[in-house]
A and B are shown apart, each in its own frame.
Chain A
Amino acid sequence: MKKVILISSISLYIINIIRKIRTHLGINTRDIQKILELDPDGNILGAIESSSNSAKYHDQHLNKLALAFTDKSFELGYNITYTLNDFYPPIDFEEKMVEKVIVKIDPTELGQTGTLYLLLVEESNAFFDDWHTSKEIAQYCGSKAEKNWEAKDFTAIIDQAVKKGIFIRKSEKEALFKRP
């Protein structure tokens, strides 16, 4: 008996655009807690990106996210400066109550970081339950994103993911990776 949660079209637009951008940048729940200076064990993102909870972002959140997304974007070489306007809908957007439907992100909309993050963390794709080489990971992500990616496109991204703890490396000698 799922109760439909209604939310303003503007708040929902913001939630979904943040979801797209953060996925593109590979930013997860724990990162968001840190960015918003909240309890590391909490999960504000879980509430905000849940279709059964009416939680939403406010401007103080958006300001912090814009600053952090900008830093991350420069770190990844995308070099995009985000402002709150990037999260808001166009001014002529209609104000109405709508069902809180969180968008499903397609890997074809993303780059290498976003695709790996989406499959590995957001969708818990079973491929990452087993050990794989960078080449296999690049090919698998490429097949999902409909792109022709190579192992070298993923070297730095996999290193970052290992540092972040969302990937583990089998050993110093064996460059094989899987979900922890």
Chain B
Amino acid sequence: MTSRKRKLLNTTFPAISFDKILLFHKARTEKGISAFECSFLLGKHDFFIRDAENPFKSTLIDPEDSVHLSKVLSLRECNPETNKFDLYKLEVEEHKIDRKKTKRIIIIKNDGADLNPIEMIVEGKEEELETSLFLSTYEKAQSYFRELIENGYFDSTRTALEIFNTFRNHHEFGPNFHPRFLIQNIRYFLNKKSGEPILDNSRTNLFSRRLFFKPLDFKIESDKGAISESFTAIGINTFQQANKWVSDLDYNRNHDKNNVLTLFEEQCGTCSTKHALLKRLADENGNESIKLILGIFTMNSKNTPKIKDVLAKYDLKYIPEAHNYLRNHNHILDFTGIGVNETKFELDLLEEVEIGPDQITDYKVQYHKEFLSRWIETNKIPYTLDKLWKIREECIAALART
């Protein structure tokens, strides 16, 4: 490889973070795991590791990512030795090797630092490094991947590392398995153009790591019950289509919550009527994994900015509010249609209980009030239940205002 262009630049970088990046760079290149493959298994964007290895970018590997990367790379420890320097003064020489490839030669210029140049290749996204790990084959990885899909493994959300570990724990792949063909298969099962788009990757977990799962779907059989019949009558034949229809309906209270077909008649609904309808649809069609949940969450000015003034007026940091949604295996499904972020919502949950679709009226109110009574007592809230309920109504009214 002969270099064509040369560029000399200077920068500074937190010394311990730079040492950490070098430690991970050495480990991953020795194992032949590319920057993209590492980023993918970390569950971050495609160029996360490439950015972290770039001294001109501010991307750092935090303690959470350090432990995660050490799991990916099967390291015992995830930190370099302590460093007497706070900041490194770096001299970076960039050589353009070809159209896609750049080599960086980095020298630490601090007095007393190791002056040996550090070489790093800036990898392209699809770069494949030589490896001594066990690659297996694309076909074998796909065969096991299909087995996992068929066995319901992806009914729960999975991080890339979880899937990688499942492969490493399988006798055919083992602990020295290289993730290349696994990642290629995950991408195949996501690809809408040239693959089989069975998986969904639209969610991340609380650590911003990409999640992979098989979205729940089934064909609606019109003869299974009144709700199935009503859906098919308007041309909706799958559960996913039903989810979208429900989510798109206006958010408004229904006049008769006990009428199971009220959404079809009034063309609107709330979290309770919308999710009760979907639960009944799932029940009619024999799907038992879907659960209707009554959750109590901290409604505050952060997750519900419109109630900020009401909370301030009554000197409350938050008010426990009831919400209905669905749970499928380890994840929440919310089709209220008001932009609830299911991942963030989980952080605000105080308590949840599974309920039946006929418990969204009196039972829900009673459960909520009982929770508030306990909350008033435990937290020495200076309001009676009646007063708090009125404050809550004020919050709901503030929410309805545009």
Contact = CB atoms under 8 A, between A and B. Distances in A.
Interface of A: 1-3, 6, 8, 10-11, 14, 57-60, 62-64, 66-67, 70, 82-85, 88-89, 91-93, 95, 97
B16 A63 contact: yes
Interface of B: 14-17, 20, 60, 62-64, 66-68, 70-71, 75-84, 86, 206-207, 298, 316-318, 347, 379, 381
A1 B67 contact: no
19 contacts: A1-B317, A6-B347, A8-B63, A8-B207, A10-B67, A59-B20, A62-B16, A63-B15, A67-B82, A70-B82, A84-B16, A84-B82, A85-B78, A88-B79, A91-B71, A91-B78, A93-B67, A95-B68, A97-B347
Given A91-B71, A95-B67, A83 B76 contact: no
Nearest to A69: B82
Shortest Cβ-Cβ A-B pairs, 9 listed = A84-B79, A63-B16, A1-B379, A66-B82, A85-B77, A91-B70, A85-B79, A97-B206, A59-B16
B71 A58 contact: no
A91 to B, nearest CB: 5
Residue with the highest number of chain A CB atoms closer than 10 Å, among B79, B82, B347 = B82
Among A14, A64, A70, find the residue whose CB has the most chain B CB atoms closer than 10 A. A64
Contacts of B207: 8, 95
B271 to A, nearest CB: 23
Contacts, number: 79
B81 A3 contact: no
Contacts of B79: 59, 83-85, 88
Is chain A's interface secondary structure helix, strand, loop, or mixed overall?
mixed
Given A67-B82, A84-B79, A84-B80, 15 more contacts: A1-B316, A2-B379, A8-B64, A10-B67, A58-B62, A59-B66, A59-B79, A66-B82, A83-B79, A83-B82, A88-B66, A88-B67, A89-B67, A91-B75, A91-B76
Given A67-B82, A97-B206, A11 B64 contact: yes
Contacts of A84: 16, 79-80, 82
Contact of A11 (B63, B80, B82, B316): B63
A5 to B, nearest CB: 10
A178 to B, nearest CB: 36
Contacts of B75: 91
A2 B350 CA distance: 12
Contacts of A95: 64, 67-68, 207
A63 B83 CA distance: 7
Contacts of A2: 379
A59 B379 contact: no
Nearest to B66: A88
Nearest to B61: A59
A1 to B, nearest CB: 4
Contacts of A63: 15-16, 82-83
Nearest to B68: A95
Contacts of A14: 63
Contact of B298 (A3, A82, A93): A3
Contacts of A88: 63, 66-67, 77-79
A25 B380 CA distance: 39
A55 B381 CA distance: 27
A10 B63 contact: yes
B225 to A, nearest CB: 39
Contacts of B86: 60, 64
A2 to B, nearest CB: 7
Contacts of A92: 71
A64 B16 CA distance: 10
A89 B379 CA distance: 34
A51 B275 CA distance: 36
A93 B68 CA distance: 9
A6 B348 CA distance: 10
Nearest to A91: B70
B77 A82 contact: no
A85 B206 CA distance: 24
Nearest to A61: B16
A69 B64 CA distance: 23
